[in-house]
Amino acid sequence: RQTLRVGFLGYLFNLAPMGIVGGDILKAVMLGHQQPRYRAESLASVLVDRALGLYVLFLVASGAILATRFWEIASAAVVIICKSTVGVSVGGAVAIAATLGPDFTRGKSLEWMASIPYLGRPLAKLVTAVRMYRLRLGTLAVATLMSVAVHTLFATSVFLIAAALYDRHHTLGVHLVVSPISAATGVLPVNLGPFEGVLNFLYTAVPLADGAYLPSGQGLVVALGYRIGTVLIAAVGLVYYLAGRREVAYLMEDAASELSQAELPGQT
């Protein structure tokens, strides 16, 4: 129950001006407040959740690219998109292996990290917390599979919105590529704009099966249709917020106070 509460509140704050960054901050603060002795671990869980979700977006897009031979489309922009997406997927796999694999430095990398002024010790503690997931690889595997399902359903929902609004639209295979790539821009601290702009660009850059191109603006309308759905889902988070708005306000003030105190040493 508490996990659902934190999740829906985070989803609601995803619609705030800071986008998913604001939602992640709220979730990290709430979890840290519930478990004050394990704040680093709480922050690590939020970061792992976000990093895993972002990586799986590229993983789903890469799988769709390989399954549909998307790179064969005669468009320079599409070829660049395909190479970049697959490259990020491969690079992400290497980064995950390096993070969760054996520490060949035998702790020296953490000692060096902890020696960095001001940020070193908290950063080293955070990395240590993330590496604890080495003992929970099965849990990470299940979370990855769930994330694949979620992002596939997300792309399918965008496809269904397009099919409901327009007679001429891209196929589901195309949406499995362009939707995750567009959603990856959600890491930017802006709520509205990046997702809509990238989806609209990709809609016009990728030709239809008959070689024709969609007019500019169609992707924007589809993206706005999806945004309406997110607002309806966020209404559940609004119920949680209204029920505990005093607690949320207190937690955000507490987080701002801690952040200002952490900045004081660097100002001297």
CA triple 57-91-50, angle to 5 deg? 40
**Is 205 within 8 Å of 78 (Cβ atoms)?**
yes
What span, in angstroms and rounded, lies between the C-alpha atoms of 87 and 157? 26
For residue 95, give the amino acid letter: A
Give per-residue pLDDT as tens, 180-204: 999 888 666 566 678 888 999 999 9
What span, in angstroms and rounded, lies between the C-alpha atoms of 158 and 153? 9
Give per-residue pLDDT as tens, 54-97: 889 899 999 999 988 888 775 787 888 889 999 999 998 988 88
The residue whose two tokens read 């040493």 is 265
Tokens representing 209?
């099966």
Q: Answer yes or no: is pLDDT of 11 > 70.
A: no
For residue 28, give the amino acid letter: A
**Is 214 within 8 Å of 170 (Cβ atoms)?**
yes
Highest-confidence range of 49-63, 147-161, 209-223, 246-260, by mean pLDDT?
A: 147-161
**Is 46 within 8 Å of 28 (Cβ atoms)?**
yes
pLDDT of residue 264: 46
What span, in angstroms and rounded, lies between the C-alpha atoms of 122 and 56? 27
Highest-confidence range of 18-22, 49-53, 147-151, by mean pLDDT?
A: 147-151
- C-alpha distances (whole Å) from 210 to each of 89, 110, 171 are 30, 56, 12
The pTM of the full predicted model, rounded to 2 decimals, is 0.72
